[in-house]
Amino acid sequence: MPTPTAAEQFDPRNPRFTADRFALLAQMRAESPVTFLPALHVYAVTRWQEVRDVLGDSVTFASSEAFSAGVHLAPEALAIYPLTSLLFAYNLINVDKPLHKRLRDPLMTAFSPKRIASLTPTVIADVEDLLDSVAASGDQTDLLPTFCRPLPLRTICRLLGVPLADAERLSGWSDALIAFQTPGLPTPVQVGAAHGLRALENYVRERIAEKTARPDDGLISALVAGRIAGENDLSEDELVADIAIVFFAGHETTINTLANAFHSLLNERDQWADIVSGTVDADNLTDELLRHDTSVMGLYRRAAVDTVIGGVPVPQGATLWVSYAAANRDPAKFDAPEALQCPRENARQHLTFGSGAHYCVGPLLARLQVREAITRAAKRFPEMRLVPGAAVPEIPHHGLRAPTTVPVLLKYKERPA
Ligand code: HEM
């Protein structure tokens, strides 16, 4: 029997995918800029230049219904949450202009650098507070539930102006957007996820009513105030979708990035030692971690016409899976791309936040959290080590890189010879 190709093995159910998906991406990228993935029925775009070109041309490579194209749901779940519902119909990454512009412009206004700067002291205080709890937990902990997860959840709640106590249930509901993209989930799980999206919609609607009556200085209030003042003409459904998508996109991505970053850094003792001694450029390190360890492996586009990408024909209607992670490790763009290297002069040219019309709205906030979390953790726990030999399963998902645990020893001591 012929050995399966890299494209055939790029399937979360395949052991080689689980063992090293970057090796599969590297093989595909070396062979061609575009590769058809039979398990996912998509054309993967893997080279930096072609990824940027595709993201930069939102007319030929449309986002409309591209995200929902990856959804495979049982009729029971679709009956509860059809793909015409507002978290798909008004989801920024699932629409094109003019609707995309309508939904995005108000967010960009509300996401002002001033608002993010005003969150900086709170993010730093949250980092230190969580590190206090980690320190109190003993010699060993799992950084995922104790640090990587609560930090972005606190940040996103503070940004929006919703109670921290609601964070976990909101996260549970919005996880449905990931579940909807995961092939082969049992029907009861899909049905639960569909109910979750309905609950998320209802929750956001209640908060909009609350902020209309009693405004505060959070992002929901800013969007509501803009609507009342006629600065945006979002309908209530569009507003609900924008807020729910910010909640979703603004926490899972950062949680997983932090978890990946700790795994990489703790395997690179020299880099960790440099942070401890304060000899790294923390901003450059942050971008290098974002390049090397992005949690969003890739997202979708749809070819609006018959087209050609890097010399490879792609038919009209085809779904593209545009891989930011593969682009970030393209040797034509980054020297020794598989290595985590700081300083790296062009680290900031990663495509972790996408590019073009759908460029992420949250890079300032994401960079702030990664920088403060990593540098402060290293200073508080200079001897931190990954627990030797611990199994680190990842969520079996082609679009996400998300370890399910970050087990560490806080005060590691070399064993005497
Ligand atoms: C390390 C963390 C993050 C990563 C890796 C990330 C990644 C991305 C990527 C790749 C896109 C582009 C989607 C596309 O090309 O279709 C995107 C869009 C988006 N991101 Fe982020 N993101 C992060 C953090 C955040 C944060 C903190 C927020 C908000 C607080 C946020 C909100 C959004 C929104 C609303 C969009 C949709 C933009 C549009 O379609 O116009 N993200 N993000």
The tokens of 373 are what?
């979390």
Closest Cα to atom 35 of ligand 1: 246
Asked whether residue 367 carries a pLDDT value surpassing 80, the answer given is yes
Give the whole-angstrom CA distance, residue 347 versus residue 334: 8
Strands 299-303 and 61-62: antiparallel
The pLDDT of residue 211 is 97
The tokens of 279 are what?
């000899």
DSSP H helices in 150-235: 150-160, 167-174, 176-179, 187-213, 219-228
Asked whether residue 1 carries a pLDDT value surpassing 80, the answer given is no
On whether the CB atoms of residues 30 and 330 are closer than 8 A, the answer is no
The pLDDT of residue 120 is 97
Residue predicted with more confidence, 389 or 360? 360
For 233-278, what is each residue's pLDDT tens digit?
A: 999 999 999 999 999 999 999 999 999 999 999 988 889 999 999 9
Q: How would residue 330 be classed by pLDDT, with cut points 50, 70 and 90?
A: very high
Asked whether residue 342 carries a pLDDT value surpassing 70, the answer given is yes
- How many other CB atoms are there within 10 angstroms of residue 60's CB atom? 18
Q: What's the chain's average pLDDT?
A: 94
Q: How would residue 213 be classed by pLDDT, with cut points 50, 70 and 90?
A: very high
On whether the CB atoms of residues 296 and 253 are closer than 8 A, the answer is yes
Rounded alpha-carbon distances, angstroms, from residue 83 to 76, 95, 333: 13, 13, 38
Instruction: Assess whether the C-beta atom of 361 lies below 6 angstroms from ligand 1.
Output: yes
Q: How would residue 65 be classed by pLDDT, with cut points 50, 70 and 90?
A: confident
Looking up tokens 């629409």 gives: 95
Q: What is the mean pLDDT of residues 118-141?
A: 96
**How many CA atoms, within 13 angstroms, populate the side-chain half-sphere of residue 302?**
15
Asked whether residue 323 carries a pLDDT value surpassing 70, the answer given is yes
Q: How would residue 416 be classed by pLDDT, with cut points 50, 70 and 90?
A: low
Asked whether residue 183 carries a pLDDT value surpassing 80, the answer given is no
Task: Give the neighbor-by-neighbor strand order of the sheet with 140-142.
Answer: 140-142, 407-409, 385-386
DSSP result, 122-169:
HHHHHHHHHHHHHHHT-SEEEHIIIIITHHHHHHHHHHHT--GGGHHH
Asked whether residue 51 carries a pLDDT value surpassing 80, the answer given is yes
Task: Give the neighbor-by-neighbor strand order of the sheet with 299-303.
Answer: 34-37, 42-45, 319-322, 299-303, 61-62
Q: What is the mean pLDDT of residues 368-382?
A: 97
Residue predicted with more confidence, 413 or 282? 282
Compute the distance from residue 358 Cα to the ligand 1 centre, in Å. Answer: 8
For 220-241, what is each residue's pLDDT tens digit?
A: 999 999 999 999 999 999 999 9
Instruction: Assess whether the C-beta atom of 32 lies below 6 angstroms from ligand 1.
Output: no
Q: How would residue 178 be classed by pLDDT, with cut points 50, 70 and 90?
A: confident
Beta strands in 292-365 (DSSP E): 299-303, 307-309, 312-314, 319-322
Tell me the domains of the chain and their CATH numbers: 6-409 (1.10.630.10)
- How many other CB atoms are there within 10 angstroms of residue 207's CB atom? 21
Compute the distance from residue 352 Cα to the ligand 1 centre, in Å. Answer: 9
The tokens of 328 are what?
């970030």
Closest Cα to atom 43 of ligand 1: 360
Asked whether residue 369 carries a pLDDT value surpassing 80, the answer given is yes
Please report the atom of ligand 1 found closest to the CA of residue 322.
Answer: 15
The pLDDT of residue 415 is 58
The pLDDT of residue 182 is 80
Q: What is the mean pLDDT of residues 354-375?
A: 98
Threshold 0.85, pTM exceeds: yes
The torsion angles phi and psi of 270, rounded to 5 degrees, stand at -65, -40
The tokens of 395 are what?
């969520």
Instruction: Assess whether the C-beta atom of 249 lies below 6 angstroms from ligand 1.
Output: yes
Q: What is the mean pLDDT of residues 330-348?
A: 97
Looking up tokens 């450029």 gives: 281
Compute the distance from residue 359 Cα to the ligand 1 centre, in Å. Answer: 7
Give the whole-angstrom CA distance, residue 208 versus residue 241: 12
Q: How would residue 417 be classed by pLDDT, with cut points 50, 70 and 90?
A: low
